[in-house]
């Protein structure tokens, strides 16, 4: 039987996604030990840096009764040229779940195609679906159902933005994207999202009457050499207190972190009363426990 994978949000149905969010909230409230994945092993292959994703998966699998094995390119044969397909076939015979953080999205697709264990996308250049589970959980905890709400995406049309496009369709909210010209998300994704997405270049139009304002770094991992050019291009796309004031009075602010105060977000917004970034970061743990329980339970 082919395993279920979680490479993008689209791998799950809206019903399954809603179930995961409910389950994440329930697991967060659980006080007694709960170890449905006892003796299960999570394989982790990370080709990019990580704080939240790594720690939340390692903590999560241990809390569920299992254990994790972490591989960076330096310590596995992948770094010495062993084919990805071979690594997938070998590792998936030994572990019960695999999380992969890498550059190209087709790397996780190729890995999953050869894996007999469920594969989770821990971030690629195109998508970061685990972060969206945590973001939706955080919205629901603070404000209830996100269905029909207006979400403003301010900044780069990157992996987070593209995951928000998928989320807009699957969780049925409206996403208004404001990015500098030349930094739009993929045309095809926007087209497929239909009425769920408005794409523009005006942060004020995006933020106006929004229920949730979200941003992310201007230069993602792998774009370090574009940093200066991006700082210039994104200058007018900082989430400031003035921009937040255009949103609904009870609007929330989210950022997947790490954040750059004074670049994509003003310090007073990140640290201000509308910011829920620390809950959002914590919820990576609970949402991914729900995900691992779903995929390997």
Contact between 239 and 268 under an 8 Å Cβ cutoff? The reply is: no
Burial classification of residue 6, based on how many CB atoms lie within 10 Å of its CB (0-12 exposed, 13-18 middle, 19 or more buried) = buried
The window from 60-68, 139-147, 153-161, 179-187 that contacts ligand NVA (CB under 6 A) reads 153-161
Q: Single out the catalytic residue among 23, 101, 126, 230.
A: 101
Minimum distance between the CB of residue 234 and ligand NVA, rounded to whole angstroms?
13
Nearest residue to ligand CP on Cβ basis? 53
Element (H, E) at 176: strand 174-178
Told to check if 265 binds ligand NVA by CB under 6 A, we report: no
Alpha-helix runs per DSSP H in 172-202:
187-193
Q: Is 52 annotated as a binding residue?
A: yes
Q: For residue 165, which of 137, 142, 195 has the smallest C-alpha distance?
A: 195
**Quick one: 131 or 238, whose CB is closer to ligand CP?**
131
The active-site residue out of 5, 128, 176, 196 is 128
Distance of CA 282 to the CA centre of its chain: 13
Q: Which of 151, 178, 174, 179 is nearest to 247 (CA)?
A: 151
What does the per-residue mask of binding to ligand CP show for 251-290, with x meaning CB under 6 A? -----xx---------------------------------
Query: Which residue from 167, 199, 217, 259 is in contact with ligand NVA, where contact means CB under 6 A?
Result: 217
Please give the size of the binding site for ligand CP, defined by CB under 6 A.
Answer: 8
Render 220-270 in DSSP notation, one character per residue.
-TT-GGGHHHHHHHTGGG-B-HHHHTTS-TT-EEEE-S---BTTTB-HHHH
Can residue 119 be called a binding residue for ligand NVA (CB under 6 A)?
no
50 is in an annotated binding site: yes
- Catalytic residue check, 216: yes
Comparing CB distances to ligand NVA, the nearer of 21 and 123 is: 123
Catalytic position from the list 126, 256, 286, 288: 256
Site residues for ligand CP, window 114-173 (CB under 6 A)? 123, 131
CA distances from 279 to 169, 257, 286 (A): 24, 12, 11
Beta strand extents in 57-101 (DSSP E only): 67-71, 97-101
Q: DSSP readout, 90-142?
A: HHTTT-SEEEEE-S-HHHHHHHHHT-SS-EEE---SS--HHHHHHHHHHHHHH
| 53 is an interface residue for ligand CP by CB under 6 A | yes
181 is in an annotated binding site: no
> Which residues make up each annotated binding site?
50-53, 77, 101, 128-131, 159, 216, 220-221, 256-257, 284
Question: What is the set of active-site residues?
Answer: 101, 128, 131, 216, 256, 284
Q: Which residues of this protein are in contact with ligand NVA, per CB under 6 A?
A: 123, 128, 158-160, 216-217, 220-221, 256
Return binding residues for L-ornithine.
Answer: 159, 216, 220-221
Residues of this chain that interact with ligand CP (CB under 6 A) are 50-53, 123, 131, 256-257
């Amino acid at each position: 039987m082919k395993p279920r994978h979680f490479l993008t949000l689209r791998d799950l149905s809206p019903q399954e996604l809603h179930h995961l969010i409910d389950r994440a909230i329930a697991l967060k409230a659980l006080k007694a030990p709960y170890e449905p994945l006892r003796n299960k092993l999570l394989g982790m292959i990370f080709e990019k840096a990580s704080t939240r994703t790594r720690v939340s998966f390692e903590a999560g699998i241990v809390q569920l009764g299992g254990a994790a094995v972490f591989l960076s390119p330096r310590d596995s044969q992948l770094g010495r040229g062993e084919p990805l397909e071979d690594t997938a076939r070998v590792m998936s015979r030994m572990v019960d779940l695999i999380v992969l953080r890498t550059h190209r999205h087709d790397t996780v697709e190729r890995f999953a195609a050869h894996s007999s264990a469920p594969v989770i996308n821990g971030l690629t250049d195109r998508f970061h679906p685990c972060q969206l589970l945590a973001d939706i959980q955080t919205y629901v905890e603070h404000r209830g159902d996100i269905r029909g709400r207006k979400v403003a995406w301010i900044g780069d049309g990157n992996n987070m933005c593209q995951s928000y496009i998928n989320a807009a369709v699957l969780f049925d909210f409206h996403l208004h994207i404001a990015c500098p010209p030349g930094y739009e998300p993929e045309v095809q994704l926007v087209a497929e999202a239909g009425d769920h997405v408005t794409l523009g270049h005006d942060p004020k139009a995006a933020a106006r009457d929004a229920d949730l304002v979200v941003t992310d770094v201007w230069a993602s991992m792998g774009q370090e050499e574009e940093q200066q050019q991006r700082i210039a291009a994104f200058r007018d796309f900082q989430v400031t207190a003035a921009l937040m004031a255009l949103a609904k009075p009870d609007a929330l602010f989210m950022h997947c972190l790490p954040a750059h105060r004074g670049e994509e977000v003003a310090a007073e917004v990140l640290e201000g009363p509308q910011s829920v970034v620390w809950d959002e970061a914590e919820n990576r743990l609970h949402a991914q426990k729900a995900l691992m329980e779903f995929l390997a339970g």
